[in-house]
Structure 1
Amino acid sequence: MKTILWATLSANGNYAQSSPENPPKKEAFDDFVKHARAAGNLIVGRRTFEGMLGSGGVVGGPFTGLDIVVVSKNAEEFPGVTVARSPQEALNYLQQKGHQTALIGAGADLHNAFLGQGLVDELIFNVAPVLEGKGYNLLIDKENYQYKDVQLLNFMPLGGGVVQMHYAIAH
């Protein structure tokens, strides 16, 4: 199964943070929905999922009908979604359901968990035309300096100043 990590980055390279005061760029959000619908699933962390619920983005929204997996060690059950205790458990569940691709659209902590465990095949970064003073970074290893080669598969403007870069990770 191919695993794709999807994230929006700020123009200065931080993991872009969104909130009601700073919503995601429409072009980036529309692209996220397109990729989730194409995969038929979405893996998120508990905080991201709760944010989606709070904005009405799951029930009756663009993610209706998708296999949604919330990865959390201590989350209670959510109606209509599956809770997995680890990244690997989330991937195992989606593979058992017959999915060919898994889309990780989580927060920085969960993205870093997937990257750190070597569970990501491709990266889709949408770079938004914003600068952030304080932000999170995507890391393949929190302890050491490591490098992984990536291969640029595609890049394109999405509109509104958002540019997408699509990479494959060398394994």
Structure 2
Amino acid sequence: MKKTIFLSVSIDGFIADKAGIPSFPEGAWEDWCALVNETNSLIAGRTSQKQVEEIGADAALTAEHKIVISSQDLDLSKSTWQGAKSPAEALEILKSKGVNEVIIGGGRTIVNAFIREGLVDFIIIDLQPVAFGNGTQVFGDFLGRLDLKLLETSKLNENAIRLKYQVV
């Protein structure tokens, strides 16, 4: 299964402002959703999933397979998400459904877990034209080296670019 981390990142390396909100310029959310929906599957952490549902943005995510990873028991009975306890369990659920590509969409804890476990093939970063000054760093306390090969760059709009890397 092709596993891709996909993050919007500020020019100063943050995925959220100091309040923990990914307050990127207009169009960033739509670009993010478009790639997730094209892939038709998403894995996210509890905080990211909760933010999406709280702001009513879940409707923009039409991906058929959405999994939230949490060590806590979550009530997902009224949600379009399915739960998993670990990256390996999330991938096993998707594999059992015949999914061959997934976007790992955050947050930092989930991203770092996939990287630490060697479960990442690609990283896509949408570099956004904003500086937060402080907030949630893209990789935070990740310990270790991650070597990447730049595969492509593309301009998303007048001010933002997308970078696609392969983990080597």
What TM bracket, shorter-length normalisation? 0.7 to 0.9
Distance 1:71 1:165 in 2: 26
Alignment TM-score, normalising by the size of structure 2? 0.88
Letter in 2 for 1:7: L
1:100-122, Cα deviation, whole Å (9 max, x unpaired):
10111121111111111111100
Offset from partner CA, 1:25-54 (integer Å, 9 cap, x none): 333222211111111111111111111111
Provide the C-alpha distance between the structure 2 equivalents of 1:18 and 1:64, rounded to a whole number of angstroms: 29
Q: Normalising to structure 1: TM-score of the pair?
A: 0.86
Q: Do the aligned residues in 2 keep the contact of 1:123 with 1:169 (CA within 8 Å)?
A: yes
Local SS of the residue matching 2:27: helix
Counterpart of 1:15 in structure 2 is 15
Cα pair 1:112 1:138 within 8 Å, conserved: no
Q: Per the alignment, in what secondary structure is the counterpart of residue 74 of structure 1?
A: coil
Identity %: 27
Following the alignment from structure 2 to structure 1, what is the Cα–Cα distance between the partners of residues 71 and 105?
A: 18
Q: In the aligned structure 2, how far is the partner of 1:66 from the partner of 1:101? A: 12
Number of equivalences = 166
Q: Over residues 111-151 of structure 1, what are the superposed CA-to-partner deviations in whole Å (9 max), with x where a residue is unaligned? A: 111111111100000111111222333449744xx323211
CA distance 1:140–1:168, shift in 2 (3 Å): farther
In terms of mean alpha carbon deviation, does 128-137 or 43-52 score higher?
Answer: 128-137
Which stretches in structure 2 are left out of the alignment for 5+ residues? none
Distance across 2 between alignment mates of 1:65 and 1:15: 22
CA separation of 1:128 and 1:65: change in aligned 2, threshold 3 A: closer
Q: Distance in 1 between matches of 2:65 and 2:19?
A: 24
Name the structure 2 match of 1:147.
145
Q: What residue ranges of structure 1 are gaps of 5+ in the alignment? A: none
Query: What RMSD in Å do the two structures reach over aligned CA positions?
Result: 2.3
